[in-house]
Amino acid sequence: MNAPLPNFNDLGEDSPLLVELNNGSLMMLWAGTPPTPSNFAIMNITSNTTSTSEILPILNNLTILLQASILNNNVWGPVINLTNNGDALSYASDGNYIYLVYEPTLSLTYNNTILEELTLSGNVIKSLNIPGILDILSANNGLVTVQFLNGTIALVNMNNGSIEFVNTTYIGFVGNSLYQFYNGVLTINQNLTLNLPIYESAFPILYNNGYVIIAWRPGLLSIYYWNGTELQPIINYTTQFTIIPKASILNNDLYLAWFGLNNISTGQGSIYMAITPLPYQISQYTNITTINITNNTINNTSNNSTISTSNTSYNSIQSTTSNKSLFSSIPIWVIIIVVGVVVFIILY
């Protein structure tokens, strides 16, 4: 199966997010930098200088839009602007609404961040002024997990504006339940524990009465399937630099998307997308289970089974990459300062 990409039409795109809609369609969201005069001016200046004093004063004129496209019959529809001005810094969706960290004018210090709840067509329903939000980790039914600039994680209630801080490195929603990743351990709904010491982060997706697990570290992206009794390796991807993968499942196929840097010195990179079929079998679990993953084996403490990790190569599946870079003329340090959803800032 081919893995097509939307018809990107901006100066650059970054941070793809895949969302399964209630009608069964697949939507991709991304941060797009439109060809505005101010964005062109920033590109021209940064292509001729590396001076911080010259670049920083003009970055508040930068525009980053939230854009989307919907996949039907393996063909992406037209690109839609969900925002028309300002800067879209981070976003998530539960399939019903989109949750967005937004700044009307780029502050570079995140002191003017606004957390918004949008319809799938981009209309703003609710808005909370919460300074310092760097990233949205996950969202479900008006509850949003966010990361602040100082690294702390919190659960924000869009309905009443409450903020609850939590002690973890990553927390999110899987269905109506919470999961967390902390110190190499992924805990799902308090009754499934996966010890993943070789990975930097991981998250689950509900699938067939079990979970698909997406786990990654610099240079490696791994996919597993928990079928209720054992953890099955599906595929390993070799990646360049550090990535933040996003995923969704449609018709028993796993859709993966991520932004990868091709040249760290110039900031050039591509959006990657891959599709891989998932195993299908009916199973359920109700007991508390602990799984340990070491360098090359998966050990299930419930039944003591051991499975070798998959050696399937990245090139064995069909994939497509965009050839467009994000701000191809802007140095990578500028990208890291500007877009909170880009690679390194989220993780550290």
Can you name the CATH fold of 12-347?
Answer: Methylamine Dehydrogenase; Chain H (2.130.10)
Paired tokens of 274:
């891959």
Q: For the CA atoms of the chain, what is the radius of gyration?
A: 20
| Cβ density class 169-196: b for 16+ within 10 Å, e for less | ebbbbbeeebbbbeebbbbbeeebbbbb
CB 224 within 8 A of CB 231: yes
| Bridge partner residues of 90 (DSSP) | 101
- Whole-number average pLDDT of the chain: 80
Q: Are 101 and 136 in contact (CB under 8 A)?
A: yes
What pLDDT digit, counting tens, does each position of 310-330 carry?
222 333 333 334 434 443 333
Residue ranges of alpha helices (H) inside the chain are 37-48, 52-55, 332-338, 343-347
Q: Which amino acid is at 274?
A: A
Which is it for strands 124-129 and 133-140: parallel, antiparallel or unpaired?
Answer: unpaired
User: What SS3 state is found at 332?
Assistant: helix
Write phi, then psi, for 347 (nearest 5 degrees). Answer: -85, -25
108 close to 338: Cβ distance less than 8 angstroms: yes
Helix, strand or coil for residue 239? coil
What does DSSP say about strands 289-293 and 192-195: parallel, antiparallel, or unpaired?
A: parallel
pLDDT at position 144: 98
- pTM of this prediction? 0.80
Quick: pLDDT tens for 66-119: 999 999 988 999 999 999 999 999 999 999 999 999 999 988 889 999 999 999
Predicted confidence band at 179 (pLDDT cuts at 50, 70, 90)? very high
* For residue 341, pLDDT beyond 70: no
**Least confidently predicted of 109-123, 223-237, 245-259, 274-288:** 274-288
How far apart (Å, rounded) are the C-alpha atoms in residues 274 and 66? Answer: 22
Pick 292 or 218 by higher pLDDT: 218
Confidence at residue 265, expressed as pLDDT on a 0 to 100 scale: 64
Confidence band, pLDDT 50/70/90 cuts, at residue 30: very high
Its sign, for the CA torsion 32, 144, 277, 341, is positive
For the stretch 257-301, pLDDT in tens is: 998 877 666 667 788 999 999 987 544 333 344 455 555 344 443
Distances (CA, A) of 4 to 23, 75, 205: 20, 7, 22
Quote the CA–CA distance of 66 and 122 in Å, as a whole number: 9
Helix (H, G, I), strand (E, B) or coil at 330: coil
Rounded to the nearest 5 percent, the helix, strand and coil shares of the chain are 10, 50, 40
pLDDT tens for 192-213 read: 999 989 999 999 999 998 999 9
Q: Are 88 and 103 in contact (CB under 8 A)?
A: no
Residue 45 has pLDDT above 90, yes or no: no
